[in-house]
């Protein structure tokens, strides 16, 4: 996607994240709203991404919506996919973002 082109409406996936990504135990960071771990795309030659795990609530949905709408900008980390899944019987939003670390 070229910079400056607004994105289409976000459609969250409801299939298990594990169908498309393998999740590492390597924690990349911790934030107020959740942790970020590395994950690998099973369908894209094991390309590395950052996976942000958020509890499903209004605040998290707003954060994701605003991030999605602004990620056309080249200065904002791009969101690749968003999943609605359960983890330990807790509804979660799983945000797959481009990984900006060293290769």
Residue 52 known to bind ligand:
yes
Segments making up each domain of the chain, as ranges: 17-98
pTM of the model: 0.87
- 1 pLDDT more than 60: no
Q: Please provide the average confidence, as pLDDT, over all residues in the chain.
A: 89
Q: What are residue 34's phi and psi, to 5 degrees?
A: 160, 180
By mean pLDDT, which of 3-17, 30-44, 73-87 is the weakest? 3-17
Contact by Cβ (8 Å): 31, 95 = no
Please give the CATH superfamily to which domain 17-98 belongs: Phosphorylase Kinase; domain 1 (3.30.200.20)
Residue 32: which pLDDT band, with cuts at 50, 70 and 90?
Answer: confident
> What Rg, from alpha-carbon coordinates, does the chain have?
13
Residue written as tokens 């942790």? 35
Dist CA 64 CA 94 (whole Å): 10
- 77 pLDDT more than 50: yes
Dist CA 64 CA 79 (whole Å): 9
Eight-state DSSP code of residue 13: B
Residue 55: which pLDDT band, with cuts at 50, 70 and 90?
Answer: very high
């Amino acid at each position: 996607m070229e910079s400056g082109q607004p994105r289409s409406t976000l459609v969250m996936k409801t299939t298990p994240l594990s169908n498309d990504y393998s999740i590492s135990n390597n924690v990349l960071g911790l934030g107020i709203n959740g942790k970020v771990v590395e994950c690998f795309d099973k369908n894209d030659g094991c390309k590395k991404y950052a996976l942000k795990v958020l509890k499903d609530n209004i605040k998290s949905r707003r954060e994701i919506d605003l991030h999605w709408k602004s990620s056309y900008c080249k200065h904002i980390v791009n969101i690749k996919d968003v999943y609605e899944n359960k983890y330990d019987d807790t509804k979660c939003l799983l945000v797959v973002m481009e990984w900006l670390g060293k290769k």
